Amino acid sequence: MKERILRLSSQKKTLFYKERRVHIFPDFAPEVAKQRAAFAEAKRPLQNVNGVKFGLCFPATFRITFGGEEKSFKDPKLAVSFIKGTILPPK
């Protein structure tokens, strides 16, 4: 039932309960949550970049799709390095 609720909630754009907006998130073990949070620095600069899709796969693999190519990272530092060197414009 838990997986079904998570799947259905991700398919909906907005959920409401008694006229209030609600968010449903999966519950991760503390260690997994820590590993996923480590990718925050990699996700932040990509939020406003057109043509880039990104997300986290379980347990903590960061996936980026850019220019028709997909890359996966288990190390947040390698992901940030790739983003700065390949996706973001030089300063």
Q: Classify residue 5: in a domain, yes or no.
A: no
Q: Classify residue 13: in a domain, yes or no.
A: no
The domain spanning residue 53 has which CATH number?
A: 3.30.250.20
Q: Classify residue 4: in a domain, yes or no.
A: no
Let me know how many helices (H) and strands (E) the chain has, helices first: 4, 5
Report pLDDT digits (tens) over 50-73: 999 999 999 999 999 998 999 999
Q: Classify residue 14: in a domain, yes or no.
A: no
Q: Classify residue 66: in a domain, yes or no.
A: yes
Report pLDDT digits (tens) over 8-60: 888 887 888 999 998 887 788 999 999 999 999 999 999 988 999 999 999 99
Helix, strand, coil in percent for the chain, rounding step 5: 40, 25, 35
Number of domains in the chain: 1
Q: Classify residue 70: in a domain, yes or no.
A: yes
Q: Which domain holds residue 75?
A: 28-87
Q: Which DSSP symbol is given to 7?
A: H
